Amino acid sequence: MQTIDQAGTFKLGSRTVKRLGYGAMQLAGPGVFGPPKDPDAAFAVLREAAALGVNHIDTSDFYGPHIVNQLIREALSPYPDELVIVTKVGARRGEDGSWLPAATPDELRRAVHDNLRNLGLDALDAVNMRFWGDEGHGPAEGPVEPQLAVLAELQREGVVRHIGLSNVTAAQVKEARQIVEVVCVQNQYNLAHRGDDAMVDILAEEGIAYVPFFPLGGFSPLQSATLSRVAERLEATAMQVALAWLLQRSPNILLIPGTSSVAHLRENAAAASLVLPEDAVAELDGIAVVEPAE
């Protein structure tokens, strides 16, 4: 059985986690809505992740909704001491499966307590405040104090241990750090979309984790072809190479690739031991989208 490199760790607040974790979003039904077709397969993925040594699981009670957290509880509870479960709030699901903002004080409090109940926890290791940004897509400027003030209250009450941010700009991160201690930032970032390059480096200097999502999101056909060519040369999959590039990009990057397949989970785990040679890194760096100057 492939196990994740024990040396690849980073701080997530007061906890230390392995840099290759697991994102549970894909355990829900199509569109991250409703139950999985095969609950037994979902349980198998979660238990295999634990067997591989994963100790960082990313989830949310709006996956399903509720269902993914309930699967995690049934598969892994009682939780091992080393397991860190990170969740997020700031959205809800419509009856048609639509994604809707949910960031009023009452909605945020209810979301935290829903996560606690469905995960079977007395306190959440970390809660990411997911900002709606550009109609739920990319980040957009706007105040963060109203939402973070609520999470800070919940932190003082002892039901939230650490606070993170999701879908935010550099200015919002700066503002947030004046309000609460930020332990992680979760944004879209991969070898083709590198608008957060400067943010990754600044957070690394501050000892703050950066958690990219969509490691293969938004690639053009040409970019995908380059990635596939490098992967073939290295006798690896495109996903393994994309994950390995992120791991080599900066020591504060924590990965949460998601899958509903045990086979794919094992393939992703192998990325922790894949070292990209300099020529491969240079070729991959060449496919990055050039971000417009501000």
pLDDT in the model for residue 288: 87
Dist CA 100 CA 93 (whole Å):
6
Dist CA 122 CA 129 (whole Å):
19
Cβ atoms 1, 51 nearer than 8 A: yes
Tell me whether residue 37 is in a domain: yes
Amino acid at 118: N
Dist CA 40 CA 52 (whole Å):
18
- Domain boundaries, position 146: 9-218+251-258
Mean pLDDT for 33-40 is 96
| Beta carbons within 10 angstroms of residue 100's beta carbon | 12
Mean pLDDT for 275-282 is 96
Task: Find the DSSP H helices in the chain.
Answer: 39-51, 67-76, 105-119, 145-157, 170-177, 197-206, 221-233, 238-249, 262-270, 278-285
pLDDT in the model for residue 259: 96
CA nearest to 160, candidates 109, 228, 200 = 109
Distance of CA 195 to the CA centre of its chain: 17
- Active site residue ranges: 63
User: Checking DSSP bridges between strand 91-93 and strand 99-101, what pairing results, if any?
Assistant: antiparallel
- Given a cut of 60, whether residue 293 has pLDDT beyond it is no
Report residue 22's pLDDT band, with 50, 70 and 90 as the boundaries.
Answer: very high
First-residue to last-residue Cα distance in the chain: 48
Tell me whether residue 244 is in a domain: no
Dist CA 119 CA 113 (whole Å):
10
Report helix, strand or coil for 227.
helix
The pLDDT mean for the chain works out to 94
Torsion sign (Cα): 211, 217, 218, 222: positive
Percent of the chain's residues with pLDDT above 90:
91
What residues are paired with 97 via a beta bridge?
A: none
Tell me whether residue 229 is in a domain: no
Cβ atoms 100, 92 nearer than 8 A: yes
pLDDT in the model for residue 237: 97
* Predicted TM-score (pTM) of this structure: 0.95
Tell me whether residue 154 is in a domain: yes
pLDDT in the model for residue 289: 63
Report residue 135's pLDDT band, with 50, 70 and 90 as the boundaries.
Answer: confident
Structurally, how many domains does the chain consist of? 1
What residues are paired with 211 via a beta bridge?
A: 186
Judged by average pLDDT, the poorest of 160-169, 250-259, 285-294 is: 285-294
Tell me whether residue 49 is in a domain: yes
**CATH code of residue 67:** 3.20.20.100
Report helix, strand or coil for 129.
strand
DSSP 74-108: HHHPSPPTT-EEEEEESEEE-TTS-EEE--SHHHH
Tell me whether residue 17 is in a domain: yes
By residue count, the chain amounts to 294
Tell me whether residue 142 is in a domain: yes
CA nearest to 255, candidates 18, 49, 3, 13 = 18
Interval 63-82: pLDDT, tens: 999 999 999 999 999 999 99
